Structure formats: structure tokens, C-alpha cells
């Protein structure tokens, strides 16, 4: 099997008998979970990492081959199945890539051009709190329109379009219920994407209108629009800072928990969370390690949002420190933790941040960089979109492993190990060179 290739395994057995033989980046399709529905399970480190429900039409369902007796991946490769289904899954999940030659279909291109309409519609129904209003019920469009003070006919047209993409279900004509996707748009879901959806439209998308500027100059379009950098802008606009900080926390909460369950921090007496945002990670870290202390280090606009109402036992072991990592970073950490920091900056700036840390590290201290690592092969991978987001918004970039090694080298550090995590991130563990 070629490097970077993903297998798509198709089964009609909900219990996933083939689990033991699944490889990383394997996508397992479990059939029989309800009429027309299929679950794509994503595997990392031999475990189910994530799942997406996909609705297939009757005729598409018939095209799914039945699961073969043998669970051997090389046999299953022959069962990759029908190209339409693969295309559909690729569109919905965004990051499946197989080495099966794909049919070139101009409809896919047309659909891609229309995605911003879908995105905007998801945003508006989220802002109107429609997923929260529906909650666990089935609601008529008239009631939804009345509760959201919208035009009933226009709202219906938006809702039926979204239902076509499985965001809501039209249970009976003009009555809607939440779907497996729209529940993530509710406020109180433990894995809610509501704040992230709001951030993506209210702050994250405007720079894309000036993509040409970034293409021509290599500089962030955001700075051209606002005459200042993104982080200066959110320092000056507290309401936007709140949108950004809530989105960061909500979007990555699961990843923070994955970091804590993957990496053994038990040697760490003091952790410095550099650019730690509103403190979700340090709080969880201090809960898990009752003898440790931590410093939450970030800009003033962010630390204004720090929640002081937390458990006293945690607050007594936490120092909240306002500062600028281009000037200096708090001293004395066993671990310097940087999640989603370096990707905001160009190479020169990233090395400056790393140098400000390496000059205060000792032979026992460790640097943990948590970032997306770009795959070697071009693919419809979320990380390449994030890379462009970094370009237009910050002038930063996502990097591959070689590029991270180079940054570390420039800052006098050496990569010790890369720890895989479920999801999109990896932990790059580094120490001082020559020790
Ligand atoms: C993309 S967010 C990541 C936040 C958090 N680590 C996470 O993963 O959710 C980048 C963080 O860097 C902080 N930051 C930006 N410029 C900074 C500076 N010059 N000094 C300290 N922190 C800064 C931002 O305020 C923000 O909290």
C-alpha cells in the first residue's frame, strides 16, 4: 500500500469485528445504523478516533459491498467500493484520500464554489439559536420563524437546504428536528462547535476576501484590512477577543484532554503554558497533577477573560502572568508548553519565541510544541486549509516535521520525540541541544 494512502473498510457489522487489524488513517464504514445511514469511523493508534455519520441514498447503499469474511487489510483494499460513495465521504469528512483513481467530476467543483453559501447559512441558524430552540423536539417552521422573528418562507428555504446536507432533518413536511450534525451547534453540547462557527464567520473569514493581497505579497491580508495585526486588533476589540478566545477553547477542548491522557507529565513540577489562552489546559493539568504548579502566560486581552471562580486548590497553584513572548517568557518551567502558537508566526518570529524559551531552559526542562504537522502528500486535508488561514490572518504557516526540526535547531533545541494524538495535533517534544 502506498504511503499516505487510507483504506476504506466497509462492514455491516456494528461491533466492528475487524478492529484489531485497523491501521492508522483507516476509515471504517459501519452500515446498519439506521436507514440510509453509515458511520465513518476514523482510526488512530488502533483505536476509534472520531466518527462521522453519513447519509447515503438507497441506491448508494445498495452499492456498498458486504464485508468479506477475512479481516486482512490487503483483501479489504479490493472493497474500497464505489467512487460516488468515496466522493461523498470525501466531501463530508474532508480528509479521506485513497489511491483509487477518482473520476473527475465537474459537479464537485461546482459544489465547492457554493460551499460559502452553506457556511453562511450554518452561521445564521446558529446565531439565531435554532439548534437550541429545536433541542430534542420536532418543531414546525412556523414556530421556528415566530421564535426567531424571521420570515417563515425564507427560513424554510434555508432549513430545507441545510437538511439536504444532514444539518437538521425535515422529519415530516415543514417540521424539523436536530440531526447528528446540528446537535454540535447547540450551546450546551460538551463538544459544541457553536463558538467556533461564530468565530469562523465573524473574525476568521474576512481576510479571505483579500486573499489576492496575500498571494501577491506573502503578507497577512488581515493587516491590510485593519491596518494592524490580528493580535493587536483583538487587544483593542474586547468583544472580538471574546469571540476568538471562546472559539479556541471550545474547538480544542477535546485535544487538550487527549494531550493529558497521552503525555506523561508526572515529572513536571512547574508547567508554563505560553500563550495559554483562557486557561482551560492549565486548569485541567493542575486537576490531574495535584502536586504541580503552573503559569498561564498570555496577552492582557485574553487574561482579562480568565475565570477566577475556579476551585481554590487549583488557583493556589496557578500564577496568571501577562506578557509578550517576543520580549520574555516566565522563568523556571520543567515544561514550556506551546499549543497552536508557532503556526501563527513566520519562521523568523517563531525562532524568536523559541529562543526566548531556550535561553531560560535547563538540561532537564522540556519544550512541548503541539501543532498540526503537514502531511508530505497533497490531499484534501484540513491542515492545508489551516495553513492558508494562518497566511491570510497572521502571516504564519503550518509546517511539516522537517520545518519544525529546523526551527528548533535555529533556537538551539533538539527534537526528542513526536507523540501522536487522536485528532489533528501532534506533540513535538524537544530539549536543549548538546545535553
Ligand atoms: C491560537 S491561540 C492558542 C491559544 C491556546 N494555546 C490554545 O491552543 O487554545 C494563540 C494565543 O497566543 C497568544 N498570543 C499572541 N501573541 C502573543 C504575545 N506576543 N505574547 C503572549 N501571548 C500571545 C494569543 O493571545 C492566544 O491566546
Q: Residue whose CA is closest, atom 25 of ligand 1?
A: 299
Buried/exposed 99-138: b ≥16 CB within 10 Å, e otherwise: eeeeeeeeeeeeeeeeeeeeeebbbebbebebbebbeeee
- Which CATH number applies to 106-191? 1.10.10.10
pLDDT of residue 362: 96
**pLDDT score of 62:** 59
Give the per-residue pLDDT at 88: 54
User: Is the minimum distance from the CB of 350 to ligand 1 under 6 angstroms?
Assistant: no
Q: Is the CB of 326 under 6 A from ligand 1?
A: yes
Strands 175-177 and 270-274 turn out to be unpaired
**C-alpha 203 – ligand 1 centre gap (Å):** 16
Rounded to 5°, the CA angle 176-171-116 comes to: 55
C-beta of 276 in contact with ligand 1 (< 6 A): yes
For residue 275, give the nearest of 361, 193, 369, 191 by alpha carbon. Answer: 369
Please tell me if the CB atom of residue 279 comes closer than 6 angstroms to any atom of ligand 1: no
Residue 351 Cα, ligand 1 centroid: separation in angstroms? 16
| Cα 302 to ligand 1 centroid, rounded to whole Å | 8
Q: Residue 363's pLDDT is what?
A: 94
| Ligand 1 contact via 353 beta carbon (within 6 Å) | no
Domain boundaries, the chain: 8-93, 106-191, 200-432
Pocket perturbation via mutation, ligand 1, pick of 250, 274, 275 by most ligand atoms within 8 A of CB:
275
Q: For residue 273, what pLDDT is reported?
A: 98
pLDDT of residue 58: 61
> 55: which strand partners?
37
Do 294 and 318 touch, CB atoms closer than 8 A?
yes
416 Cα to the center of ligand 1, angstroms: 24
Rounded distance from Cα 277 to ligand 1 centre (Å): 6
Q: Which run of H or E residues covers position 320?
A: strand 318-322
Residue nearest to atom 16 of ligand 1 (CA): 231
pTM, rounded to two decimals: 0.79
- Confidence (pLDDT) at 110: 83
Neighbours of 45 (CB within 10 A): 12
| Ligand 1 center to 344 CA (angstroms) | 9
pLDDT at residue 384, rounded to an integer? 94
What is the predicted pLDDT for the residue at 328? 98
Same CATH topology for 106-191 and 200-432?
A: no
The pLDDT value recorded for residue 310 is 79
The confidence score (pLDDT) of residue 202 equals: 95
Kindly give the parts of the chain with pLDDT less than 50: 1-26, 31-36, 65-82, 93-102
Q: Of ligand 1's atoms, which has the minimum distance to the CA of residue 251?
A: 9
Write out the CATH class of domain 200-432: alpha beta
- Ligand 1, atom 9, residue with closest C-alpha: 248
pLDDT value at residue 20:
38
Which grid cell sits at 216?
A: 501577491
Phi/psi of residue 430, nearest 5 degrees:
-135, 160
Q: What is the pLDDT of residue 401?
A: 96
Nearest ligand 1 atom to alpha carbon 325: 20
Q: Is 340 in the pocket of ligand 1 (CB under 6 A)?
A: yes
Q: Which of 386, 331, 341, 399 is nearest to 368 (CA)?
A: 341
Identify the pLDDT of residue 312: 86
Virtual torsion, Cα 85, 90, 95, 99, nearest 10 deg? 60
Nearest atom, ligand 1, residue 252 CA: 9
- Phi, then psi, of 25 in degrees rounded to 5: 65, 15
* Residue minimizing CA distance to atom 12 of ligand 1: 275
**Cell numbers placing 9:** 473498510
Give the separation between CA 413 and CA 403, rounded to whole angstroms. Answer: 13
Residue positions annotated with a catalytic role = 343
**Minimal-distance CA residue to ligand 1 atom 24:** 275
Distance CA 302, CA 172 (A): 45
How many Å apart are CA 375 and CA 2, to the nearest integer?
14
DSSP symbols for 129-140: THHHHHTTS-EE
Amino acid at each position: 500500500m502506498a504511503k499516505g494512502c487510507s483504506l476504506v473498510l466497509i462492514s455491516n457489522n456494528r461491533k466492528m469485528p475487524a478492529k484489531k487489524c485497523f491501521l492508522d488513517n483507516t476509515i471504517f464504514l459501519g452500515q446498519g445504523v439506521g436507514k440510509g445511514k453509515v458511520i465513518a469511523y476514523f482510526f488512530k493508534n488502533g483505536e476509534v478516533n472520531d466518527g462521522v455519520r453519513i447519509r447515503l441514498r438507497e441506491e448508494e447503499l445498495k452499492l456498498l459491498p458486504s464485508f468479506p469474511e477475512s479481516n486482512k487489510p490487503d483483501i479489504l483494499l479490493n472493497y474500497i467500493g464505489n467512487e460516488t460513495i468515496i466522493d461523498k465521504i470525501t466531501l463530508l469528512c474532508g480528509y479521506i484520500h485513497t489511491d483509487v483513481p477518482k473520476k473527475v467530476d465537474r459537479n464537485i467543483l461546482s459544489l465547492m464554489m457554493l460551499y460559502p453559501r452553506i457556511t453562511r447559512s450554518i452561521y445564521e441558524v446558529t446565531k439565531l439559536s435554532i439548534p437550541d430552540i429545536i433541542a430534542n423536539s420536532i418543531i414546525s417552521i412556523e414556530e421556528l420563524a415566530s421564535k426567531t422573528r424571521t420570515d417563515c418562507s425564507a427560513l424554510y428555504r434555508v432549513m430545507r437546504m441545510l437538511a439536504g446536507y444532514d444539518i437538521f432533518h425535515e422529519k415530516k413536511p415543514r417540521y424539523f428536528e436536530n440531526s447528528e450534525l446540528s446537535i454540535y451547534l447547540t450551546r450546551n453540547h460538551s463538544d459544541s462547535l457553536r463558538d467556533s462557527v461564530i468565530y469562523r464567520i465573524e473574525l476568521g473569514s474576512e481576510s479571505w476576501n483579500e486573499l489576492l493581497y496575500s498571494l501577491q505579497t506573502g503578507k497577512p491580508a488581515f493587516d491590510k484590512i485593519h491596518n494592524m495585526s490580528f493580535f493587536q486588533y483583538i487587544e483593542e476589540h474586547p468583544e472580538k477577543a471574546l469571540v476568538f478566545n471562546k472559539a479556541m477553547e471550545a474547538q480544542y477542548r477535546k485535544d487538550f484532554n487527549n494531550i493529558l491522557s497521552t503525555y506523561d507529565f508526572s515529572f513536571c513540577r512547574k508547567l508554563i503554558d505560553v500563550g495559554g489562552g483562557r486557561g482551560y489546559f492549565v486548569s485541567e493539568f493542575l486537576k490531574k497533577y495535584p502536586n504541580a504548579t503552573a503559569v498561564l502566560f498570555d496577552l492582557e486581552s485574553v487574561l482579562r477573560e480568565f475565570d477566577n471562580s475556579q476551585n481554590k486548590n487549583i488557583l493556589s497553584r496557578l500564577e496568571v502572568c501577562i506578557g509578550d513572548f517576543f520580549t520574555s517568557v516566565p522563568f523556571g518551567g520543567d515544561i514550556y508548553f506551546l499549543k497552536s502558537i508557532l503556526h501563527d508566526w513566520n519562521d523568523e518570529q517563531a525562532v524568536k519565541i523559541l529562543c526566548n524559551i531556550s535561553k531560560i531552559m535547563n538540561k532537564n526542562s522540556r519544550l512541548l510544541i503541539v501543532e498540526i504537522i503537514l502531511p508530505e502528500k497533497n490531499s484534501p486535508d484540513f491542515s492545508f486549509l489551516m495553513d492558508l488561514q494562518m497566511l491570510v490572518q497572521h502571516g504564519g504557516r503550518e509546517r511539516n516535521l522537517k520545518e519544525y526540526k529546523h526551527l528548533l535547531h535555529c533556537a538551539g533545541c533538539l527534537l526528542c520525540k513526536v507523540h501522536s494524538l487522536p485528532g489533528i495535533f501532534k506533540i513535538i517534544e524537544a530539549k536543549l541541544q548538546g545535553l
